[in-house]
Amino acid sequence: MHRLTVFGATGRMGQAVLRAVRECGDFAVAGAVASAGSAALGRDAVLEGPPCGVRVSADAAAALGGAAVALDFSAPTAVAAHALACAAAGVPLVVGTTGLDPRTVEGLHAAAARIALLLAPNTSIGVNLLERLAVIAARGLGPAFDVEILEAHHRAKRDAPSGTAVRLGEAIAAAKGERLAEQALYERHGDVGPRPDGGIGFAVLRGGDIVGEHTVLFAGDGERIELTHRATDRMIFARGALRAAAWLVGRAPGLYRMQDVLGL
């Protein structure tokens, strides 16, 4: 059984992870971390349902005591500090938080020199298979097909496009021998002119309680291919995160992705 510390334990995904821990029986909660201003500090980490016996703390170092692995679904601004704490404690880390700025990503790369660190914009098994299928399609279809990535999430999601959509774009661009920064089309408003050759377009929808939907569209002359993943239950991300955490235990220091977990 693996002892697990959860960063962002009081958020939607943190609570889903704690429910998944109770489901699977392969993990025990070692620590639960929230921000210093959280109203849940001192409470049992499971805010609704049977208690887990671990109280919410703002002390990352203390929460890592005895942990075999950690999961981070906290705010983007907190991730770098959590990675530093994990590196100091020698605890491998799965980062599921999205919307990370370049400086935070740089810090994660530095931490990965000391611990096994898995960066997962989306921990759904299905979404990561979607990424692989999109790469195969991009290589097979070639430049004659325009690529568009459409994503939809609930009204409370703050970053756009989603981290998953961006990761899909990065994978497709790499399959075409390009960099997403040189291919991405994020904004369209007014008279933007014809679609540029080779671009990767993004469209974003926010509303209601949509858990997450991603479609990669390849549009050619006379035919179109659409690859779609729809999430209807946030628990799929929690279960995938636990699968990634179990896989990461005992790995050598380095930066890993969900594709590694799935052997893709």
**Residues catalogued as catalytic:** 153, 157
AA letter at 232: T
Give every strand in the sheet of 56-57, ordered side by side: 56-57, 27-33, 2-7, 69-72, 93-95, 116-119, 254-256
Beta strands 146-153; 27-33: pairing state: unpaired
Contacts of 40 (CB under 8 A, 6+ apart): 10, 34, 47, 56
- Cα 247 to Cα 258: distance, rounded to the nearest angstrom: 10
For residues 64 and 5, is the Cβ–Cβ distance under 8 A? Answer: yes
- Cα 262 to Cα 132: distance, rounded to the nearest angstrom: 11
